[in-house]
Amino acid sequence: MSFQILLNVFLAFIWMFLKNDYGSSSFFIGYLLGLLIMLAYRRFFTSRFYLVRVWAVIKLLALFLKELVLSNISVLKHILSPTLNIKPGIFALKTELTKDWEITILANLITLTPGTLVVDVSLDRQTLYIHAMDIPEKHEAIDSIKNTFERAIMEVSR
């Protein structure tokens, strides 16, 4: 991915040299043209066309913000309800992610999810131990983690 961005910047510089115009607008046009050229020649790259990954990162960031707002609403409900009927507990979750940075992002996402907080990561990095505010909601939480978060992170790293 970083190679493709570097190549794109390089193409933009070539455009600036061809035009003999060294302003930022010339750089921008060269960048867009280079993007088109790279889109046409994308089958020669070993990894995916990098805008796909940039878009996946943006989607992951939007997911982060959405989960943050939802988790705040659920915590507020728990705190402000007159009777404290919560059943907290710690449950284990197997993860399919392997790289360290992926697990870090997943742990951060889980911490910002409604009613879950990561307590520990196992030494072999395959299990996350998660403290849940309400254990009966556990399966729902596992489903949402499995289906949305892991998939969104895999989309970035794939």
Applying CB under 8 A, which residues contact another protein?
64, 68-69, 71-72, 75-76, 78-80, 84, 86-92, 107-108, 111-112, 115, 117-120, 122-123, 127, 129, 131, 133, 135, 138
Token pair 């993860």 is found at 95
Closest approach, Cβ 116 to another protein, in A, equals: 8
Q: Tell the smallest beta-carbon distance from residue 137 to another protein (Å).
A: 12
Q: Is 104 helix (H, G, I), strand (E, B) or coil?
A: helix
Q: Which is nearer to another protein, 77 or 151 (CB)?
A: 77
CB of 18 to another protein, least distance (A): 34
The full length of the chain comes to: 158
Q: Which is nearer to another protein, 36 or 119 (CB)?
A: 119
Instruction: With CA atoms as reference, report the closest residue to 113 among 80, 77, 66.
Output: 66
Q: Which is nearer to another protein, 39 or 54 (CB)?
A: 54
Rounded to an integer, what distance in angstroms lies between the CA atom of residue 103 and that of residue 157? 12
Least distance CB 109 / another protein (angstroms): 8
Choice between 126 and 150, CB closer to another protein:
126
- Residue 80's Cβ-count burial label (10 Å; 0-12, 13-18, 19+) is exposed
Closest CA to 133 of 110, 149, 153: 110
Nearer to another protein among residue 11 and residue 133 (C-beta): 133
Taking residue 105's Cβ as centre, other Cβ atoms within 10 Å add up to 19
> In 3D, which of 92, 110, 104 has the Cα closest to residue 149?
110
Q: What is the closest distance, in whole angstroms, from the C-beta atom of residue 20 to another protein in the complex?
A: 33
